[in-house]
Every structure is written in structure tokens, then in C-alpha cells.
Amino acid sequence: MTPPAVPGDTKRERREAAREKARVAREAAAKRRRRKKWALQGGLVLGVLAVAAVVVLVVTRSMAPGGPGPLNMASDGIVLSGDGTTVSATTTDAVPADGEPTASAAGTAEKPSIVVYLDYMCPYCGQFDTTNAEQLQTWVSQGAVDLEIHPLGFLDNASLGTKYSTRSANALACVANYQPDAALDVNTALFAQQPEENTSGLTNDELVSLVQGAGADDEQIPGCVTGGEFDDWVASATERALNDPLPNSDLEKVTGTPTVLVNGQQYQGSLTDPTVFAQFVAEVAGGAPTSDTSTGTAPESSATPAP
């Protein structure tokens, strides 16, 4: 017996039903594709925003001011002079956090200015200082010359991650800020106990002991040293020295340490013969202090190159 016909079960209606089912499936698939596209676009936007945020953070940090600097180092260096018996520092304001250093006065024939850009991890700086420390102390204390010391921190990569160059430069800055008249003795002590390159250097506590042993016993210095109070300034002063013209000279920047200037003229002689340096000072200044011993020919010096 033939079964009765079902309403809507004609061939035409079955085709229309199949088409409708296919249409619904296509629309559902299209909706899924749109959702995936939106999700992908949203992820890309979020990723771009995240990258942009990182770039803004890096740029903002790189543009952040590096100060304020220590008192008595308005030129990024401390100027030491004498009255015939003792050594004292020239009193100055600090370099503001958003400011620029102020160049010290140029030297004269009557009173030469010796300017030294140095790094306390630099072995050649150590050679120059230990060779000339005694006569520099004499010249400065007698008032014969002014000595300006610029501590830099570009050899941080030579201290096994401890950033000894920055920490030791900060130690001198702490002394300049709180007990400036002790700066020359502290400078001498830092080279007398200079660590070798590619070692961790002195700890902060050892630096505190060193500066105290050199006579810088102000009660605020230990916290300044251990807390890295002037680390940011050291970074800014180092960047300026390695990129900007050096005041009162024709040098475009520091290219190695020690960079030693006498009345703006660069000394490039022996780092281990004090008579050669004394002769250079005398020649530049015309009658500046010199040694009683004979001098020799000044060979080219070695210096730690700036990075």
C-alpha cells in the first residue's frame, strides 16, 4: 500500500529546504570568520599598543634627567687649589637635574689649570696618578696650580657586573658634596687601592672604609656611597664627557683615559715619569713648577679608549 503524502514533502520543497539549510550554514561560517578576523585584528592592535608602550617607556627613561649632581662639581669636576699649606675645593652649586654643567675658569701662565678626566678602574689612570700624586699634591697645596678632577664611569663593563667605575665615581662625588676639602686625598686613596680590570672591585662597604681612611669622615658620606646617591649624575657626566667638546680646549670629546689637559693642551707623554709631566706643565705655562731632576723625551702615552 502506498503511504500517504506528507505535506511539504514535495521535491521542490525538499530542494528549498536544502538551500535554506546551506544558507544558514554559510551565514554561520561567515560569522565565525568575522569573529576570527576581529580577534586577530584586536590582538594585533593590542600587540602594537604594547610595543608602543615599551618604546615610550624606553624613550622616556633615556630622556629622564640624570641629576641633580653633587655640590662643588658644577663643571662635572671638582676644582682643588691651595693657600700655601692646605688644599681646599672651590665651592659651587650642584648641576640641576635638568641643567648643564658650568665650565671652570681657564688656567693662566701664572696659575696653570690641570684637568684630569679619569676612571678609577682604568689602569693607565692609576699609572698617571701614582706617578704624579706627590708633585700634584705639592703644587696644589702651594697654590701653584689648580687641579680639576672629572671622575667617569665608562668602564663598568670591566668589573664583572658590579659597576665599579660608577660606584667609585659616586664615592668621590659623595665626598665632593659633603666634605669637599678631602677630595684630593680620597682620589689618591682610590688609586692606591685600585682593583685590577675585570675584577669586581671594592664593595660599597670597602669604599666607605677607604674614603673614611682618607679623612672623609662626614656622617652622611656612608649612606651616600652605599645608596648610590649620585649614580645617575655619574652616567650623565660620563655621557657628556664622551660626546661633548671639552671646555677651554680644542678637544671634541674624551676618547680615552686619562685625558689630561694643562691650560687646555692635552698631555700625551709618559705616564710613569713625573719629570716628563713636570716639563710639559712648565712648557705650556711658561714657568710653571718643574722638577729638579733631568727630563727625557716624552714618548706617546697609552690610554684606555672610550667605548
What mean pLDDT do residues 115-125 have?
A: 98
Comparing 16 with 270, the larger pLDDT belongs to: 270
Regarding beta strands 87-89 and 256-257, do their DSSP bridges make them parallel or antiparallel, or are they unpaired? unpaired
Give residue 295's pLDDT: 37
Whether pLDDT at 266 is above 60: yes
Name the grid cell of 183.
677630595
Q: State residue 16's pLDDT score.
A: 66
Higher pLDDT, 110 or 30: 110
Q: How confident is the model at residue 9 (pLDDT cuts 50, 70, 90)?
A: low
Lowest-confidence pick of 24-28, 127-131, 139-143, 266-270: 24-28
| Predicted local confidence at residue 304, as pLDDT | 75
Percentage of the chain modeled with pLDDT above 70: 74
Q: Which residue type, as a one-letter code, is found at position 262?
A: V
Confidence of residue 98 (pLDDT cuts 50, 70, 90): confident
CA–CA dist 301, 45 (Å, integer): 57
Give the model's pLDDT for residue 12.
65
Cell of 297: 723625551
Averaged pLDDT score across all residues of the chain:
85
Residue 216 has pLDDT above 70, yes or no: yes
Spatial contact of 288 and 282, defined as CB atoms under 8 Å apart: yes
> pTM score, two decimals?
0.77
pLDDT at 289: 63
Residue 19 has pLDDT above 70, yes or no: no
Q: Give CB contacts under 8 A, 24+ apart, made by 193-200.
A: 194/120, 194/121, 194/123, 194/126, 195/121, 195/159, 195/164, 196/123, 197/121, 197/123, 197/155, 197/158, 197/159, 198/158, 198/159, 198/160, 199/159, 199/160, 200/159, 200/160, 200/161, 200/162, 200/164
pLDDT score of 242 more than 50:
yes
Q: Is it true that the peptide bond before 68 is cis, omega within 30 degrees of 0?
A: yes
**How much is the average pLDDT of 255-269?**
98
φ, ψ dihedrals at 280, nearest 5°: -60, -45
Is residue 201 within 8 A of residue 162, CB to CB? The reply is yes
Kindly indicate the confidence band of residue 11, based on its pLDDT and cuts at 50, 70 and 90.
low
- Judged by average pLDDT, the poorest of 17-21, 41-45, 89-93, 301-305 is 41-45
How many CB atoms are located within 10 Å of the residue 33 CB?
Answer: 10
DSSP-based three-state secondary structure for 195: coil
Q: What own/partner pairs with CB < 8 Å and gap ≥ 24 does 263-267 have?
A: 263/106, 263/107, 263/108, 263/109, 263/112, 263/113, 264/106, 264/107, 267/301
Mean pLDDT in residue range 41-55: 41
Instruction: Read off the pLDDT band of 123 (50, 70, 90).
Output: very high
Question: pLDDT tens across 52-85, in order?
Answer: 333 333 333 344 456 699 999 999 999 999 999 9
The separation between CA 83 and the C-alpha centre of its own chain, rounded to angstroms, equals 33
218, amino acid identity? D
Task: Please state the CATH superfamily assignment of the domain spanning residues 78-305 in this structure.
Answer: Glutaredoxin (3.40.30.10)
